[in-house]
């Protein structure tokens, strides 16, 4: 589904599917160079990072294992609560591995800050972050994000894995959700 198919639910398209794929190719080339010869594992954060992780992993020119963790701090709200709940833990032992967390979006940074501490306590050799989207104006904590796809305004966005109440994840573009949808 494209933004034009649900234009009445959206106010603005911020990033198109084509722009996303171009940027994923660029970041994948940089990650491949940075981790050449290292034991890298990609960790996706469910559910939002599914689209990013799938397309990013396919853009990488090397074989790399993937694992998933499900955490939540949103529920059905448009703002993070800051309280992290683990809904699915990793299957992979991170000890001695170079971890690249693949995120759909960094909003407040609270959930990601918690993940970084959690993964460090598991003995990872290194931990870096790739976020497709980042909202600098929404940050409540400073996150060192080595790889960023796009900086976007502090609006509530959907698409390319991002949802509102489990809808809009399959939108191919990233767009601002119209307030009348969630008010």
Active site residues: 107
> Cβ(157)–Cβ(107) under 8 Å?
no
Task: Give the Cα separation of 78 and 21 in Å (integer).
Answer: 26
The residue among 90, 104, 92, 86 whose CA lies nearest residue 168 is 104
Q: How far apart are the first and last CA of the chain?
A: 23
> Which among 9, 61, 54, 52 is positioned nearest to 31, based on CA atoms?
61
Torsion of CA 163, 165, 166, 167, to 10 degrees: -70
Q: Which residues pair with 167 in a beta bridge?
A: 164
């Amino acid at each position: 589904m494209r933004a034009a198919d649900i234009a009445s639910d959206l106010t603005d398209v911020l990033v198109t599917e084509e722009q996303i794929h171009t940027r994923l190719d660029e970041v994948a080339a940089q990650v491949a160079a940075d981790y050449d010869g290292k034991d890298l594992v990609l960790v996706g954060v469910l559910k939002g990072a599914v689209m990013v992780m799938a397309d990013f992993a396919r853009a990488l020119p090397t074989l790399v294992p993937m694992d998933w963790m499900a955490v939540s701090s949103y529920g059905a709200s448009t703002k993070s609560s800051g309280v992290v709940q683990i809904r699915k833990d990793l299957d992979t032992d991170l000890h001695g591995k170079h971890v690249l967390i693949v995120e759909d979006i960094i909003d407040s940074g609270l959930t990601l800050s918690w993940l970084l501490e959690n993964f460090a306590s598991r003995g990872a050799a290194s931990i870096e972050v790739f976020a497709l989207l980042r909202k600098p104006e929404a940050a409540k904590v400073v996150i060192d994000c080595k790889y960023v796809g796009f900086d976007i305004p502090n609006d509530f966005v959907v698409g390319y894995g991002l949802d509102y109440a489990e809808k809009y994840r399959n939108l191919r573009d990233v767009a601002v959700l119209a307030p009348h949808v969630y008010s």
